[in-house]
Structure 1
Amino acid sequence: MELSKRNIWALILIGLGLLIILNRFGLGLGPLMGWIIPLALIGLGYIGIKNNRSFFGWVLLIIGLISLLGKFAGLMGLIIAVALIWYGISILRKGGRAY
């Protein structure tokens, strides 16, 4: 079997399908599955946009980005906390002037 772009794409889809089925039976990769689905949606959306299927491509891309945004919620909270601490320290160093 010659590996063309079409065959590689088919193998990726088969692999993702197997991961989803294994996860349903409790044999999956656990937390990794929560990242694979949003990334797959983003990838499918990008491919849809590139193949002149703009509407469905953008829908899949936006759904994937929103799903992925939920995964980064903890990290964003940590970044906001560090930014607030840094801003508070900078206010104290300036003698109470916030601007």
Structure 2
Amino acid sequence: MNGRTTFGIVLTVVGVWIALHLLGISLGPVISFLFPLILIGIGFIGLRNNSKLIGGLFIAVGAILLLVKLSKLIFVLLAIGLAVWGISMLITRRKYR
């Protein structure tokens, strides 16, 4: 990608972002989930370019941020799983009586 193409992409992204902001559409929640994924991607690029320390650091920070963002979903799925497991234990216990 040459400099002109990169500059065109940057101008387009900034223009769309400003237009969405003026229309009252916030991209904050979307970017808050994309940022950890971007960090993980940069980390993998670092690992592929033989920069193990920087790549590993970016992957670790991105993974921690992603776990924080998804913690509510993880705990809800864990609670549902525990409830299903408990119900299945009650059902199988009654069959053998």
Q: Same fold (TM over 0.5)?
A: yes
User: Which has more radius of gyration?
Assistant: 2
Residue 89 in structure 1 maps to residue 66 in structure 2: no
Q: Which has the higher helix share?
A: 2
Root-mean-square deviation (CA, aligned residues, Å) is 3.1
In structure 1, what residue type is equivalent to 2:35? I
Corresponding residue of 1:57: 55
Alpha carbons of structure 1 residues 84 and 66: separation in structure 2 relative to 1, 3 Å: same
In structure 1, what residue type is equivalent to 2:66? L
Unaligned runs of 5+ in 1: none
Instruction: Give the number of equivalent residue pairs.
Output: 85
Aligned identity (percent) is 31
**CA distance in structure 2 between the aligned counterparts of 1:47 and 1:14, rounded to whole angstroms:** 21
**CA distance in structure 2 between the aligned counterparts of 1:85 and 1:61, rounded to whole angstroms:** 33
**CA distance in structure 2 between the aligned counterparts of 1:95 and 1:63, rounded to whole angstroms:** 45
Unaligned runs of 5+ in 2: none
Q: Which moved more, 1:76-85 or 1:42-51?
A: 76-85
Runs of 4+ aligned structure 1 residues displaced above 6 Å come to none
**CA distance in structure 2 between the aligned counterparts of 1:40 and 1:93, rounded to whole angstroms:** 45
Higher relative contact order (CA 8 A, sep 6+): 2
**CA distance in structure 2 between the aligned counterparts of 1:91 and 1:42, rounded to whole angstroms:** 39
Corresponding residue of 1:46: 44
TM-score by length of 2: 0.70
Corresponding residue of 1:33: 31
State the secondary structure of the residue aligned to 1:94.
Answer: helix
Corresponding residue of 2:74: 76
Q: Cα deviation per residue 1:1-31 (whole Å; 9 max; x = unaligned)?
A: xx47x988x56x948x95xxx69xxx35120
**CA distance in structure 2 between the aligned counterparts of 1:83 and 1:58, rounded to whole angstroms:** 32
TM-score by length of 1: 0.68
